[in-house]
Structure 1
């Protein structure tokens, strides 16, 4: 996707909305998903079958 150039009085960069809401949300989501992946085995039903045998 091509990047649109900045025209006239427009400002580019991270705005206050992104700094306060979007960036913390993305970081929190990344940390939460990494923690869930670390705690949960990929195929828990296979681990249960192995214990029963």
Structure 2
């Protein structure tokens, strides 16, 4: 998923990038939860121009 990667502990980290800076969104138990967090933040920061997963 866009904005999601697995951690060494096997959890899922979510981030978005705005103005060349990484905005950390948190660590999640599931890949889907991390992707949903990314989508919420992307829509909040970029509105209709957001590139989302779902």
Q: Which has the higher contact order (CA 8 A, sep 6+)?
A: 2
More strand by share: 2
The alignment's TM-score, normalised by the length of structure 2, stands at 0.33
The alignment's TM-score, normalised by the length of structure 1, stands at 0.34
More helix by share: 1
| Structure with larger Rg | 1
